[in-house]
Amino acid sequence: MRTLRFDIVSIFPGMFESPFGESIIERAREKGLLDIRIHDLRDYTLNKHRKVDDTPFGGGVGMVMNVEPIARALESIKKEVPKARTILLSPGGKPFDQRKASELSHQESLILICGRYEGVDERVRLHFADEEISIGDYVLTGGELPAMVLVEAVSRFIPGVLGDSTSIVEESFSEGMLEYPQYTRPRDYKGFKVPEVLVSGDPKKISAWQKAEALKKTESVRPDLLEKIKRSN
């Protein structure tokens, strides 16, 4: 059995209690498949007010997170996991996707730095982070929610985390396209019926329908994914 360790550095450690104490993540932690540790960045400050930010050089609106407490936090964590890959979560990072989640799942340990305010001192990105990741082209107030997204997406690739090992293969984006539509009981709800092919009992017809519907949905909702597939072939 393999355990993937996450060390998350944040000024709001309490935000992680509920998301990581429920459902799939909780069960994976109980099984020993995930080891998630939350570090309060303020514990690594040296000033009496436990301040982690300051005004930016050159002027500008807002505050910038200091490099010193982040560097101290990383130094402390890496005494236990020296080979951990360090990720800065930021809107300016490379887009996070299913392929990246799979890639990160092969690491032994990951350190996630949650930015706040107007951003993080650039020296963190240049000298202390191995990479910078964004979960989308929009701005949040901090990196805590992106950290939760990354942990869940990556954890699903760890053997034993999901009940059915084949489910990750069939999910949206795993094959480069959106997943086909899903139906369950009742077969007829107020005139809205399940497609007959799905209750036909013919595996070949069902598989063909699923592939065709996945393609149709991707063409309609995310045509950019099909362009990516064409470019990679």
CATH numbers and ranges of domains, the chain: 4-155 (3.40.1280.10), 172-232 (1.10.1270.20)
Give the least confident one: 25-29, 163-167, 229-233.
Answer: 163-167
**Mean pLDDT in the chain?**
93
Residue 117's pLDDT is what? 79
What is the pTM (predicted TM-score) of this model?
Answer: 0.88
- The tally of CA atoms less than 13 A away on the side-chain side of residue 209 is 15
Mean pLDDT for the stretch of residues 45-74: 94
* Both tokens assigned to 203: 């595996």
Per the CB < 8 A criterion, the answer to whether 93 and 148 are in contact is no
Residue 172's pLDDT is what? 55
| pLDDT tens-digit readout, 85-96 | 999 999 999 999
Whose CA is closest to 149, among 9, 20, 30, 17?
Answer: 20
| pLDDT tens-digit readout, 160-181 | 999 765 555 555 565 689 999 9
Mean pLDDT for the stretch of residues 27-48: 97
User: Identity (one letter) of the amino acid at 102?
Assistant: S
Q: Which long-range contacts (CB under 8 A, 24 or more apart) does 173-178 make?
A: 173/97, 173/98, 173/225, 174/98, 175/214, 176/225, 176/228, 176/229, 176/232, 177/214, 177/215, 177/217, 177/218, 177/222, 177/225, 177/226, 177/229, 178/214, 178/217, 178/218, 178/221, 178/222, 178/225
